[in-house]
Structure 1
Amino acid sequence: MSRIGKKPVELPSGVEASVSGQTVTIKGPKGTREFRATDDVTLAVEDNAVTVTPRGKSKRARQQWGMSRTQVANLVTGVTQGFKKELEITGVGYRAQMQGNTLKLALGYSHDVNFEVPEGVTVTAPKQTEVVIEGIDQQLVGQVAANIREWRAPEPYKGKGIRYKGEYIFRKEGKKK
């Protein structure tokens, strides 16, 4: 039995949920999100909570049970608190700056990197060496952060590059004479 799937997803005040077929829609103060579950699980709204139950005892139904419950819980978190990723830029001359809907990154290339911010997320650069990505879709926020980090991933010798805040980079010793 799924320990995660058994727990119902509580709906805080100001959050509404509706189920039509296999689609659950969550409305909250930050926006509206939807999730379409597979046919292996049943979704229901009862007592101000969303419950997910498996249809049958197949292995796939048990896998989808916990995953679907987690997806619904992430929707509730997204429309109430939102999701946030913070990036740190380390390196001489490396900096970030917002210009309209474009993030300009100076990362040691012969040109500046212009990153177009997709719809649904907000990107800010409070300092030249910090980038903050916020939104209500956890997957989109994480993907945008990964795409920005991909331009200059941290290297193990000097630690230069773009890293997640609090990320530990295993440092290597350079060549010896």
Structure 2
Amino acid sequence: MFAPRIGRQALQRAVTATPSSTVTLPSFLVPAFQTPSTTTLTTTQPTGFSSRRAFSATSQRPSKLGRIPLSLPPGVELEIGDLFVKKDVTSYLRTFKRKLTVTGPLGKLDLEIPDFIQLDHDTEGRKVALSVQDRDQATQRAMWGTTWAYLNNYIMGVSEGHTAVLRLVGIGYRATVEARPGREEYPGQEFVCLKLGFSHPVEMGLPKGVRGSAPQPTRVLLEGIDKEVIMQFAADIRKWRVPEPYKGKGIFVNDETIKLKQKKIK
């Protein structure tokens, strides 16, 4: 019913059996049988077609975020430092970094970027364009968009600031922001005091550069210029009462939601 199946070795012997003859094969089978000892194969492939090509002939596309120029708002200045050697504790290799300083009305932030990230700073147009030295390397392509996101957060942080809202959902859950004299790690530090159903209140000191307030008993507002520090502190608070899917209780960060499950019926 079906034609007999021809294996690779049988077809290879058929190709090499007559050295003086010319065998015609489809173009998609030529790369599989071309070796230094193989006879000359005549195919119907178009002129200029390479017999050996990579699995994908598509060129590496640039990063969707990294290729977008960043705009500097009024009052924000960007300073690009020189290259320096940074010692990595996990490797013996020397890594070269470049320091960027972003200054704005709300403060100043420093960012260290790899040496293969190239910046084109247009001072007159107040724009910054990012690029990499070699787009074929996966590490450089990955850090292209990552560096763009970090720099964008820094620019927004020193000009407008970042916020995080924590919602306390649960009976008896309360939060206040108070000072605790004698327990301060730096002058003027405040503490977020949480009542989450434990036998003791939970007190967590605000990181330096982060301001906190409790506009409502079940709301905590965090403000600052460094988004990474704010969201990390919000995650540390969330660990005390992770949202659970049966009653919907817990500490929710920003627009976080959870899908409720049905109760287990025995």
- TM-score tier after normalising by the smaller chain length: over 0.9
Secondary structure of 1:109 counterpart: coil
Q: CA deviation at 1:62?
A: 1.9
Q: CA deviation at 1:172?
A: 1.6
Q: Specify the alignment match of 1:131 in structure 2.
A: 220
Q: CA deviation at 1:70?
A: 1.7
Where has structure 1 moved over 3 Å in runs of 4 or more?
none
> Which amino acid in 2 is paired with 1:86?
V
Q: Specify the alignment match of 1:10 in structure 2.
A: 71
Is 1:62–2:141 an aligned residue pair? Answer: yes
Which structure would you say has the larger Rg?
2
| Contact 1:96-1:131 within 8 A present in 2 as well | yes
Is 1:92–2:171 an aligned residue pair? Answer: yes
Distance 1:166 1:53 in 2: 33
Q: CA deviation at 1:175?
A: 3.1
Distance 1:162 1:127 in 2: 14
Which runs of 5 or more structure 1 residues have no equivalent in the other structure?
none
Q: CA deviation at 1:15?
A: 0.8
Distance 1:12 1:55 in 2: 28
Q: CA deviation at 1:65?
A: 1.6
Q: Specify the alignment match of 1:19 in structure 2.
A: 80
Q: Deviations over 1:98-147 (max 9, x none)?
A: 11211110000011111111111111111110011111111101101101
Q: Specify the alignment match of 1:103 in structure 2.
A: 192
| Contact 1:154-1:161 within 8 A present in 2 as well | yes
Is 1:158–2:247 an aligned residue pair? Answer: yes
Distance 2:224 2:130 in 1: 25
Q: Specify the alignment match of 1:144 in structure 2.
A: 233
> Which amino acid in 2 is paired with 1:173?
Q
Q: Which has the higher contact order (CA 8 A, sep 6+)?
A: 1
Q: 1:30 aligns with which of 106, 115, 136?
A: 106
- Structure with bigger strand share is 1
Aligned length: 177
Is 1:43–2:110 an aligned residue pair? Answer: no
> Which amino acid in 1 is paired with 2:178?
Q
Which runs of 5 or more structure 2 residues have no equivalent in the other structure?
1-61, 83-97, 180-189
